[in-house]
Amino acid sequence: MTPNLIDSHAHLNFNIYKDDGHEVIRRALDQRIWMINVGSQYDTSKRAVEIATNHDIGIYAAIGLHPIHLSQTEVDEEEIKFKSREEKFDEVKYQQLIDDDKQHKIVAVGEIGLDYFHIPDGLTRDEIKNCQAPDFIKQLHFAAKNNLPVILHCRDSGKGKFDSYYDLLNIIKSQVTDYGLRITGVKHCFDANLEIAQEFFKLNFLISFTGIITFGKNAEDLRQVVHELPLEKILVETDCPYLAPEPYRGKRNEPGYVEFVAKKIAEVKNLPLEEVAKITTENAKGLFEIK
């Protein structure tokens, strides 16, 4: 079976799917939609690998430590609320996941990066950057050592500031220039401008769009970015359970809804949906070395 689409960033490894995750997976696979479940800390990374291992085809995993889990942080999103527990990147434990992965289901390290939106009480942005950057750098080198691409997270302190984007790009550039790091990957849930997208392309990174591009007038600038970018540099994703596209906005997201992201890209770029699906799927298979 070949996929119609690949949801390059899902979280069916989260507890919100513990009761019906198998049904969500079945719905996606019935549509020939494949997926990569992305870890946010060790437990969810391990769970992503377990889910992938339990399926012969169509489901893969990424392992990594999300920046919000480096300190205790209250997260209150529309779809999910939780309090993160403090965790540091333990390379030995993550390496064991890779060493035990006999089916080669782990296709990336992620999601990793910087988050200036969820700042714990009592900390400044500079303090949170100093907390997050070292573990981000460790995971970049961990990925390179294992010949895996990275899935990047960055979220700004406020709309239109792009502060986390610039810091993240500068960190990658410095590791490439000063330490000879050889790395590629994708910036997931891209919500910046054309200039920043081009900076990722210069580093041999792709960018991925979510259901945000289906939202109303507030997403018009982002749709313009979609219009300007070459399709060969784009992936599609849901970031489920978050960011459900129209017409499901506000509900729990799932991989089967990635089709609405692809449809919006096709509409914006005036291309057939089949072409968008084919090329974004080829992009994902190439980046993550999915057969």
Higher pLDDT, 74 or 173: 173
Q: What pLDDT, on the 0 to 100 scale, is given for residue 225? A: 98
What are the structural domain ranges in the chain?
5-288
Is 195 assigned a ligand-binding role in the annotation?
A: no
Q: Phi/psi of residue 226, each to 5°?
A: -55, -45
Q: Please state the rounded mean pLDDT for residues 111-129.
A: 86
DSSP 8-class letter at 240: B
Residue 86 known to bind ligand: no
Residue 141 is assigned to a ligand binding site: no
pLDDT band at 124 (very low <50, low <70, confident <90, very high): confident
Is the pLDDT score of 73 beyond 70?
A: no
Q: Let me know: does 185 contact 287? Beta carbons within 8 Å.
A: yes
Q: Compute the chain's Rg from CA coordinates.
A: 17
User: For residues 150 and 107, is the Cβ–Cβ distance under 8 A?
Assistant: no
Tens-place pLDDT, residues 144-166: 999 999 999 999 887 768 999 99
Q: With respect to CATH, is domain 5-288 assigned 3.20.20.140? A: yes
55 is in an annotated binding site: no
pLDDT tens-place string over residues 182-221: 999 999 999 999 999 999 999 999 999 999 999 999 999 9
